[in-house]
Amino acid sequence: MTRRSAQARRQAALLRLTTGIVSAHTEDEIYRSMVEGLHDEALGYSFLGVFIVDPETGDRVLRASAGWPDAPEHWRVHRGEGVSERAVEDGQLHYTPDVTRDSRYLPSRVRGSEVDIPLRIDGDTIGVLVVESDTRDAFDEDDFEILGAAADQAAIAIARAQLLDAERRRADEHKALLDTLADLSSELELSRVLQAVIDRAVTQLGVSGGEVAIFDAEREELVVVASRSVGKDSTGTRLKLDEGAMGAVARTLEPLIIPSYHEWLGRSEKYADITVHSVMAAPLLIGRRLVGAIATVHSDPERIFGEEDLRLLNMFAPQAAIAIENARLYTEAQRQRQYFESLVQNSPVAIVSLDLEHRIVSCNPTFERLFGYPSEDAVGRPLDELIASDESRTEAEAYTREALDHAVHGIGQRRHRDGHTVDVEILGVPVVVDGERLGLMGLYHDITELLQARREAEAANSAKSQFLANMSHELRTPLNAIIGYSEMLQDEVEDLGHETLGDDLSRIHTAGRHLLALINDVLDLSKIEAGRMELYLEDFDVRAMVDDVATTAKPLIDKNANRLVVRCPDDAGVMRGDLTKVRQMLLNLLSNASKFTSNGRIDLEVERPPDDGQALVFRVRDTGIGMTPEQQQRVFEAFSQAEASTARRFGGTGLGLAISKRFCEMMGGGIALESEPGAGSTFTIRLPATAVAVAESST
């Protein structure tokens, strides 16, 4: 063979080498094309191998070889072994003329020379091309040039293949995520979504199992709600924040890889019996709000989770969080809907919903019973045409129109299907969602029996008041006679000198006066309740009236050794009101103060408030026994005293304050109380300086 012919064959082999490398689609195809192309007889390289560095261990792993029919598949050359490590370490071509003389030599079938050419991508050495010969010092500069060029071409092709593979992988991941999102979004029932999330995670991440937990914000715990192949059924397990892998990521809101779970100090005792090897967990977040956590596990010790696994999990977790939150919101909305539907359906109040045209959309069973229309006969019909009579139609339609804008309340009558009238309490409210008015809701409470009972009660109360008024008049006539005769007899007995009889007559006179006062109180109250109490308005001097009241009350004040202090300015002026009733109110207050105070002080104060010159304030303050808040709540009720023991100890009917309160209201004023147990009481009457009769409003 001529030199020119050999060179032509060599050039043809190099062209085939280049073509094979360029046309390869995957890394493994590139490795095979490179070693097989260099193994061409025209180039003369007998023993070739491509070793790629394992980034996790640093081992050099055989990926393709030529001339080594018995080479172990995926043979691993560990760190510190083999002369080819130098090319990996410094990224330079290394030639060893006699491998047996190198301390790093790893005994193999070749004992001659070796060339090691690094495979470099973007400045990083990813592997080494090893070319060996049985002959010592078998390679020269031409070989170095050919082998270096082949390695460079292969590196470029590998980079291109990795880029295409990465793009293809991202496209697959994107499609998988879209498929996942579509699958999860198509299901809104929470339990199914949760199981779908963990099933998708196991498939997409290529793991043996996993579990999903939801965050219980109220208890600040995670609750495992779905699990698959984690060594036990963990559903229902509760984990505190920082407990276990999911608890840890829920606290930090950062993902976590645990290479050896049983050696991890943060493991939970609740998972002490599981046999998984490695764990990868991530929080399920919407923004920075914790929704739950997901954990994936693998039982194979050779399967080590890496950054790529974590990247996939981080891509999957937000989609899962959104799906879970959507399902949870949907489930909660369904529960609330069922809850309110149950309330409406079982409500004792008739409830009907209307559209904007006042047509019935739905009604509950109580509505059907109250008005006699089954739902199928009522839906779609105008409400007021259905249940309003001709007499109440105008009022009913006005209620309906107003209820579209604001809540309305009233009492009226509506028509049953058979024509009879139903007394109802009416409430109408607009239905507005997100600012859009959708219709209104009407509520009808049947008060037919209530109104009948009220009318009967009012009639009975009126009869009672009339009876009391009549009886009071009948009782006062003989009582006045008893009081008058006792006074006459007292004068005669005194003239005759029978002192012992005088004491008895005095007791009769006092008892008669007391009984007359009680009858007057009952008569006043019955008149008020019957609406027959009238005001007799006149102008009177306030200071003169107060002095008269103080003089009248003095015997009561002195009875329990109390001291009365009156403060009324001389310029208190004139008041237009019912003088008798104002005197009676003040005497009632002073009488009570005297009754419940011993060896103390009672103040009667009068003032015109600076903020209202058209009002007069009368204040009675004592240092007596005072009242508790509970006693104060019922002190103005008729026939009521602070408590039963008070009535037994101090006497009285409990009408004085009730009557005083009614008198104040009749004159357009009011009465207030401030008191503390053991610290006395203060009653304040506030009346207009010019009273206007409003007796009707107090009935």
Query: What is the model's pLDDT at position 699?
Result: 36
What is the DSSP secondary structure assignment for residue 689, as one 8-state letter? S
Query: What is the model's pLDDT at position 529?
Result: 62
In this structure, of 104-118, 372-386, 567-581, the range with the lowest mean pLDDT score is: 104-118
Percent of the chain with pLDDT over 70: 84
Q: Where are the domains of the chain?
A: 3-166, 189-334, 347-446, 451-530, 538-698
End-to-end CA distance of the chain: 137
What residues contact residue 187 under an 8 Å CB cut-off, 6+ apart? Answer: 193, 196, 327
Rounded distance, CA 589 to CA 605, Å?
12
Same fold? 347-446, 451-530: no
pLDDT per position as a tens digit, 404-421: 999 999 999 999 999 899
Task: Judge whether 487 and 479 are in contact, CB under 8 Å.
Answer: no
Region 588-597: mean pLDDT is 88
pLDDT at residue 490 greater than cutoff 80: no
pLDDT at residue 171 greater than cutoff 70: no
pLDDT at residue 153 greater than cutoff 80: yes
Query: What is the model's pLDDT at position 439?
Result: 92
In which band, very low, low, confident or very high, does the pLDDT at 648 lie, cut at 50, 70 and 90?
Answer: very low
pLDDT per position as a tens digit, 433-448: 888 999 999 999 998 8
Region 265-271: mean pLDDT is 88
Query: What is the model's pLDDT at position 426?
Result: 92
Rounded distance, CA 576 to CA 579, Å?
8
pLDDT at residue 116 greater than cutoff 90: yes
Region 595-614: mean pLDDT is 87
In this structure, of 314-323, 351-360, 548-557, 646-655, the range with the lowest mean pLDDT score is: 646-655
Longest dimension (CA), the chain: 182
Query: What is the model's pLDDT at position 168?
Result: 72
Q: Could you tell me the two tokens for 164? A: 């295409």
**Burial class of residue 272, CB neighbours in 10 A (0-12, 13-18, 19+):** exposed
Give 517 or 139, the one with higher predicted confidence: 139
Map residue 394 onto helix, strand or coil: helix
In which band, very low, low, confident or very high, does the pLDDT at 695 lie, cut at 50, 70 and 90?
Answer: very low
Helices 141-185 and 307-346, axial angle in degrees (round to 10)? 0
pLDDT at residue 222 greater than cutoff 90: yes
pLDDT at residue 651 greater than cutoff 80: no
Task: Report the Cα 143 to chain-centroid distance in Å.
Answer: 77
What is the DSSP secondary structure assignment for residue 1, as one 8-state letter? -
Confirm whether pTM is higher than 0.75. Answer: no
pLDDT per position as a tens digit, 514-554: 666 666 666 666 666 656 677 888 999 999 999 988 888 88
CATH, domain range 538-698: 3.30.565.10
Q: Which of 34-43, 254-263, 654-663 has the highest mean predicted lDDT (pLDDT)? A: 254-263
Percent of the chain with pLDDT over 90: 27
Could you tell me which of 387, 465, 469 has the C-alpha nearest to residue 422? 387
Region 486-509: mean pLDDT is 70
Q: Which CATH number fits domain 347-446: 3.30.450.20, 2.40.30.10, 3.40.1390.10, 3.40.50.720?
A: 3.30.450.20
Name the fold adopted by 3-166.
Beta-Lactamase (3.30.450)
What is the DSSP secondary structure assignment for residue 229, as one 8-state letter? S
Query: What is the model's pLDDT at position 511?
Result: 67
Map residue 564 onto helix, strand or coil: strand
Q: In what order do the strands lie in the sheet with 670-675?
A: 563-567, 601-607, 615-622, 681-688, 670-675
What is the DSSP secondary structure assignment for residue 230, as one 8-state letter? S
Region 204-215: mean pLDDT is 87
Query: What is the model's pLDDT at position 26?
Result: 87
Q: Are strands 289-298 and 350-354 parallel, antiparallel or unpaired?
A: unpaired
Q: Could you tell me the two tokens for 176? A: 């998988």
In which band, very low, low, confident or very high, does the pLDDT at 156 lie, cut at 50, 70 and 90?
Answer: confident
In which band, very low, low, confident or very high, does the pLDDT at 650 lie, cut at 50, 70 and 90?
Answer: very low
**CATH 1.10.3470 at 451-530, yes or no:** no
Query: What is the model's pLDDT at position 630?
Result: 84
Please give the mean pLDDT across all residues of the chain. Answer: 83
Give 55 or 484, the one with higher predicted confidence: 55
In which band, very low, low, confident or very high, does the pLDDT at 454 lie, cut at 50, 70 and 90?
Answer: confident
pLDDT at residue 696 greater than cutoff 50: no
pLDDT at residue 647 greater than cutoff 70: no
pLDDT at residue 507 greater than cutoff 80: no
pLDDT per position as a tens digit, 347-391: 999 999 999 999 999 999 999 999 999 999 999 999 999 999 888
What residues contact residue 602 under an 8 Å CB cut-off, 6+ apart? Answer: 557, 562, 563, 564, 565, 590, 593, 594, 620, 621, 622, 623
Region 149-168: mean pLDDT is 82
Classify domain 189-334 at the CATH class level. Answer: alpha beta
pLDDT at residue 194 greater than cutoff 50: yes
Task: Report the Cα 635 to chain-centroid distance in Å.
Answer: 41
Tracing tokens 């006539």 back to the chain, one arrives at 477
Cross-strand pairs, 436: 433
